[in-house]
Amino acid sequence: MQATVATCHAMLMAAPASGQGKTMTTAALARAYKNRGLRVQAFKCGPDFIDGMILQVATGKPVYNLDLGMCGEADAQRLLYKAAQENDVILLEGVMGLYDGTPSCADIAERFGIPVGLVINAKSMAQTFAAIAYGLYAFRPALKKAGVIANQVGSDGHAKMIQAALPADIPWLGAMKHDTQLSLPERHLGLHLAQEITDIDQRIEAAAQLLGPEIPLPPAVQFAAPEPHITAPLLQGKTIAVAKDAAFCFTYQANLDLLQTLGATIQFFSPLQDAQLPEADAYWLPGGYPELHLDQLHPNTAMREGLLAAVQAGKPILAECGGMLTLGETLNGQPVFGLLPGSAEIQPKLQGLGTQHAAFTYADEESISIGAHTFHYGRFDTTLPVIAQGKGKYGVGEPVYQQGSITASFLHFYFPSNPALAAQFFLP
C-alpha cells in the first residue's frame, strides 16, 4: 500500500529578481549535497527549459518543471511525492523574483510547505542585504525561512558584514565570492545551453567548492501522496521519433515520461546530423534554436524528403515553436524544409511570452484544453488554417495550425496536463 506521506529535505531557491544567480547557486548546492553522497532531485519552477539543463549536469538526473498554472497542482504533488520517496534532498529553482507571476514560486512554496532559500546578489551592498531578505520573507509571513546565500561577495569580510546584519530568525547558509569564471553566458532566450558550455561541469564543481562541504541541509518536509490515477495506454505499440540535438532541445522530461506511460516507445533523432529520418509511427519536432543552425538544416535533403514522405503517408507530426519554423518555407530569409506554407523571421523584440491553455475539439466531442507556454522572438507569416487558439491571462494567445497530419504552433505543450489530448497529437 502506498504511504500517505513521504519525507525529504527540501528547499526552494528564490531571489528578488532575475539575474541574481539562482541557477548557478542552485546547481552549486545540488553538487555540494551530491558530493556528500546524498541523492538530489532538482526541479525548475515555471516553464523554463534551459535552466533545467544546467541543473541536470549538477545532479546527473533529469529535471522536472513545477508550475501551478501550466502543469497544475496535482502534477506538482505527484512529482514532489515521487521525488521525496527516492531522494535525500529536493531543490527547486525559482523563476524571476519570489513573488513574480500569478501563480508565483512563492505560491508553490506555500502550497507544499517548502522552505524558501534566498539568493541575493550582494555586489555593491552591505547591511541593505539584510533589509531585502527581511522584506522578502515578511511580505508573506506564512513562508518558511530556509536561509540566505549572498552571491557575488567581494571578500570574507564582506560576507561577515552581511551575516552580522541579518535578523536572528533568518539563517545564514553561506556566500559565494565574485568569480567571472562562474558566470553563465546568455542569449535572447536565456542562458546558453549546458551542452554549449564546454566546461560547465567544472564551473558547477568550482561553485560547489565556494559554498563549502558543510553547507547545512534544508529542513525536512512531508509531501502528501497524490490521488491514485490510471492512465490508459492510448499509444500502446506506437513508436514516436523525437528530434533532439542543438537545434531541437526544448523538451519537458515529463512529456517524454508521459508518452512512455501511454505505451509509446521513444526514439531520438537529429535533423541536423542524421542522414535519414528514422522509421516511426509519429514524429515530434520540439522547439530550440534552429535559427542558429540553418547552414546544417537546409542541406540535409534526406531529412527533408523523409519528413515529406511521412506527411504523405499520413503520419502525425507535432511541430512546436522552432520545430514549426523549420517546417516552413524560409527562416531568416534562408530556405528550410518547406512542408508548411509560411516564412519566419526572428525579431529583435520578444513576440510571445506566458502560460496559455489551448482548447481542441476532436470528433465533434466537447472542447478539451491543454496547458502550454510560449516564449519566442519569432514571427511566422502563414496562410495555414487555425484549428485552436491559446488563451492566457491577457486574452487571445498563440494560434495552433494544422495541415494534413502536421499540428504546429509557437506553443510548447505540457502533455501531463491532459494525457488524452496529448495522445491525439500522435494518432492519425
Q: What is the mean pLDDT of residues 75-97?
A: 97
pLDDT value of position 191: 61
What are the pLDDT digits (tens) for 159-198? 999 999 999 999 999 999 887 766 666 655 566 676 777 7
Catalytic residue among 45, 71, 105, 321: 321
Q: Are 12 and 116 in contact (CB under 8 A)?
A: yes
Average pLDDT, the chain: 94
User: Which amino acid, residue 133?
Assistant: A
What phi and psi, each to the nearest 5 degrees, are found at residue 285?
-110, 95
What are the pLDDT digits (tens) for 273-282? 999 999 999 9
Which residues in the chain are classed under CATH 3.40.50.880?
A: 239-424
Question: Domain 239-424, CATH 3.40.50.880 — does that match?
Answer: yes
Rounded Cα gap, residues 248 and 273, in angstroms:
12
- Which of 194, 204, 161, 177 has the alpha carbon at shortest distance from 62? 194
What are the pLDDT digits (tens) for 313-354? 999 999 999 999 999 999 999 999 999 999 999 999 989 999
- Which of 154, 149, 157 has the alpha carbon at shortest distance from 173? 149
pLDDT value of position 195: 73
pLDDT reading at 248 higher than 60: yes
E strand or H helix that includes residue 249: strand 248-250
**Bridge partners, 360 (sequence order):** 368
Catalytic residue flag (residue 249)? no
Which residues in the chain are classed under CATH 3.40.50.300?
A: 5-224
- Which of 84, 112, 423 has the alpha carbon at shortest distance from 284? 423
What are the pLDDT digits (tens) for 26-49? 999 999 999 999 999 999 999 999
Q: What is the mean pLDDT of residues 354-379?
A: 88
CB atoms within 10 A of CB 123: 12
User: Quick one: fold of 5-224?
Assistant: Rossmann fold (3.40.50)
Provide DSSP, 326-365: HHSSEETTEE---SSS-EEEE-SS--EEEEEEEEE--TT-
Q: Are 30 and 91 in contact (CB under 8 A)?
A: yes
Q: C-alpha cell of 273?
A: 546530423
pLDDT value of position 363: 65
pLDDT value of position 135: 98
CB atoms within 10 A of CB 164: 11
